[in-house]
């Protein structure tokens, strides 16, 4: 069994109308430097988004959100950012912005399986819980 490693993560949020400050959690970025691990999972819930702003340009937002996992993977398909070390890409991705795509402050945790930690965070922080009853 692999030893535990410390990880950092941030929630990716969509803010369809910045002036209103309403957000939807749409993904998680997770970095575990000890394992040279950087990944993001994005899940855009279009009906939730349209409940906040029916006229929002979903396809443009989707295109920008799809860049996040690509930057995490690195390499030529991520452009100039893809050439940076994983930790530098993480810091670039979580830098504060005032656009419609924002990230939360960075939080920490420990895991022996970064993939499972990322899935658990997406389940907990992004997906809508099933209705009770």
In a domain, 38, yes or no: no
Identify the pLDDT of residue 1. Answer: 60
Give the structural domain span for 85.
70-104
In a domain, 6, yes or no: no
List CB contacts of 55: < 8 A, sequence separation 6 or more.
Answer: none
Identify the pLDDT of residue 75. Answer: 94
| Cα-based angle 35, 41, 45 (whole degrees, multiple of 5) | 165
Give the rounded distance of the alpha carbon of 129 from its chain centre.
18
Task: Give the whole-number percent of the chain exceeding pLDDT 70.
Answer: 99
In a domain, 63, yes or no: no
Whether 84 and 34 have beta carbons less than 8 Å apart is answered as: no
In a domain, 85, yes or no: yes
Average pLDDT across the chain, whole number: 94
How far apart (Å, rounded) are the C-alpha atoms in residues 110 and 4? 6
In a domain, 117, yes or no: no
Identify the pLDDT of residue 33. Answer: 95
**What SS3 class is residue 26?**
strand
Domain count, the chain: 1
In a domain, 1, yes or no: no
Over residues 39-61, the pLDDT tens digits come to 999 999 999 999 999 999 999 99
In a domain, 92, yes or no: yes
pLDDT tens, per residue, the chain with 133 residues: 678 999 999 999 999 988 888 999 999 999 999 999 999 999 999 999 999 999 999 999 999 999 999 999 999 999 999 999 999 999 999 998 878 999 999 999 999 999 999 999 999 999 988 888 7
In a domain, 24, yes or no: no
How far apart (Å, rounded) are the C-alpha atoms in residues 89 and 95? 10
């Amino acid at each position: 069994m692999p030893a535990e490693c410390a990880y950092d993560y941030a929630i990716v949020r969509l803010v369809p109308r910045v002036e209103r400050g309403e957000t939807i959690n749409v993904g998680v970025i997770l970095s575990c430097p000890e394992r040279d691990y950087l990944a993001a999972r994005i899940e855009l819930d279009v009906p939730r988004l349209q409940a906040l702003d029916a006229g929002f340009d979903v396809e443009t937002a989707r295109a920008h959100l799809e860049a996040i996992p690509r930057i995490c993977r690195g390499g030529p398909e991520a452009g100039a950012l893809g050439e940076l070390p994983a930790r530098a890409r993480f810091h670039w991705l979580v830098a504060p912005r005032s656009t419609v795509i924002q990230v939360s402050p960075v939080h920490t945790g420990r895991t022996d399986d970064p993939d499972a930690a990322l899935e658990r965070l997406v389940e907990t922080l992004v997906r809508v819980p099933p209705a009770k009853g």
